[in-house]
Amino acid sequence: MLSGANMDLNNSPTAPKMATSAQRRVQALELRKAGYTYEQIGVDLGISTSMAYKHVVKALRIIHDKTSEATEELRTLEVQRIDRLFEVMYKKAEKGDHNAIDRCLRLMERRAKLLGLDAPMNANINMMASIVINWDEDATQHDND
């Protein structure tokens, strides 16, 4: 909703059209999940194939956006919880409590996983394989000389 705007969408002349469009998006997505082609969806809903495609894509985008927001909120909450637990355990770890040290390390590992800090490093294996293959070809040529 726009901040500062005093709008009643139910009384808006476009409200029925928006509701119909939202309903069609849901119907189009349900039909697509059931295995319908975009052409079949268009026929069932009385719309063009391209409009059927657009409805499905928009429905998926809305779901993705809502899911992404919820996931990020949950991740933030979990990191805050870990930080609070870490704060308590760290004080004990500083005093030499071995169990607390272990807990701190486990909390740090969990935090790193949540934040993606332990993402694997990418290596260009194709380039490495190419170097080996070229080296083998060069060695074979020298043997034949």
Give tens-digit pLDDT for 13-61. Answer: 555 555 588 899 999 999 999 999 999 999 999 999 999 999 999 999 9
The secondary structure of residue 119, as a DSSP letter, is P
Percent of the chain with pLDDT over 90: 57
Whether 59 contacts 50, CB under 8 Å: no
- Print the SS3 string covering 20-54: HHHHHHHHHHHHHHCCCCHHHHHHHHCCCHHHHHH
- pLDDT(88) > 80: yes
Identify the weakest region by mean pLDDT among 28-42, 57-71, 85-99: 57-71
**101: CB partners within 8 A, 6+ apart:** 93
Give the per-residue pLDDT at 8. Answer: 43
Torsion of CA 75, 77, 81, 86, to 10 degrees: 50
| Overall pTM surpassing 0.75 (yes/no) | no
- pLDDT(145) > 90: no
Count the Cβ atoms, other than its own, within 10 Å of residue 29: 19
